[in-house]
Amino acid sequence: MSFQWPASFARVPDAEWSRQDVGDLARKYDTVENHGWYDNLELTVEQIGRFIRDGDILLDYSGGTGILAARLLDRFREREFGILIVDSSPKFLRLALEKFRHEPRLAFRHIRYLKEEGRLETVDEVLDPPLLDRRVDALVSSNAIHLYFNLPETIRAWRHVLRPDGRVFIQSGNIRNPDMPAGEWIIDETVEAIHRAAISLVRTDSRWAAYRTALDDADYMAAHDALRRKYFLPVRPLSYYVDVLTSEGFEVLSIERATIPARVDQWYEFLRVYHEGALGWVGGARKVTGHAVSPAAEADRVELMRRGMEKIFGGQQEFAACWTYLTCEPVQ
């Protein structure tokens, strides 16, 4: 049996996002596909492979540039299930489209930001009637749930689009898991540690003396702290996710944990793109000061990031990150 989308369902909608050019930021993000720490997807691929059947539809919520979709297609070449990538970033979605425009098992939908209401659409507002009638057989959210500020509404909408016998697969390296072994990292919390290490380098090494006055300006530093926490959100505990899932009508069937080795150089390559969020106080972030950082200060910022990383990881080439995986099904 070959996979079929519902009749009259357009795999690729004709929309502003699908007509735009592919941008650099999305391409930069997509390079994480080759990073060792993206092995965090392996367990997810196995979990989905055990559950999904030919003819099924998997909704890849926050599917981004399609890295998980690529791994699923690669791992299960002969299988006939559809993957619907839904994402709030038109740029990421556009790159996913670039990669899979001609793959009949892939479809794409954009979650719009409703300006007047100050919120993102929920997934039940995004899917078209033929798919809402059919519903999806499984839903996955990888490396993204820690970004949802409206978690209860997001999960309530998942419940509406999932079949009663469907399953939800969630995973993230930014969930505070009480079983995290000593010595492991919550991956985004490395940023706070890098920030503290950079402060210490600026205070003690005369090479960075130009940035010392900034450190004593409490308002300036507080504004950059707030900016950093917008890029790298405060980590919520596992119990928060379990509570919301439960109160929105899901039973959490399993919680698994994996140690994911991350290469320091690859994590640096990823983080340096977000230097303004991570170490904006070095030279001043445009979002705080209103003007662009000088090229020299930007170079110092990135160098301080690299040295901060050397410091927090004790010169090691790798660190261990803790990933958490939840599998859920709707309560009948």
Site residues, ligand SAM (CB under 6 A): 62-64, 67-68, 87-89, 92, 111, 120, 142-144, 147-148
Residue 142 or 327: the one with the smaller Cβ distance to ligand SAM is 142
Of 35 and 307, which CB lies nearer to ligand SAM in the complex structure? 35
Tokens linked to 59: 């909704």
Of the two residues 293 and 326, which places its CB atom closer to ligand SAM in the complex? 326
- As given in the structure block, the two tokens for residue 106 are 């892939």
Q: Smallest distance from the beta carbon of 67 to ligand SAM, in angstroms?
A: 4
d(CA 33, CA 262): 13
Give the DSSP per-residue string, 223-254: HHHHHHHHHSPPPEEHHHHHHHHHHTTEEEEE
Q: Minimum Å distance from CB 321 to ligand SAM?
A: 14
**Which residue minimizes CB distance to ligand SAM?**
64
Q: Given the complex with ligand SAM, which of 120 and 168 has the nearer CB atom?
A: 120
Q: How far is the CB of 32 from ligand SAM (least distance, A)?
A: 7
Question: Rounded to the nearest whole angstrom, what is the least distance from the CB of residue 98 to ligand SAM in the complex?
Answer: 15
Nearer to ligand SAM by Cβ, of 304 and 322: the residue is: 322
Cβ contact 179:325 at 8 Å: no
- Residue 283, by phi and psi: left (phi above 0), alpha (psi -120 to 50) or beta? left
Q: Which two tokens stand for residue 12?
A: 């690729």
CA neighbours within 13 Å on the CB side: how many for 157?
17
If the CB atoms of residues 192 and 300 are measured against ligand SAM, the closer one turns out to be: 192
Q: What is the DSSP letter of 78?
A: T
- 106 and 89 in contact (C-beta within 8 Å)? no
Q: How far is the CB of 297 from ligand SAM (least distance, A)?
A: 27
Q: How far is the CB of 265 from ligand SAM (least distance, A)?
A: 19
Which of 195, 166, 196, 207 shows the shortest CA–CA distance to 276? 195
Q: Which helix (H) or strand (E) holds 329?
A: strand 318-330
Give the integer Cα–Cα distance in Å for 105 and 79.
10
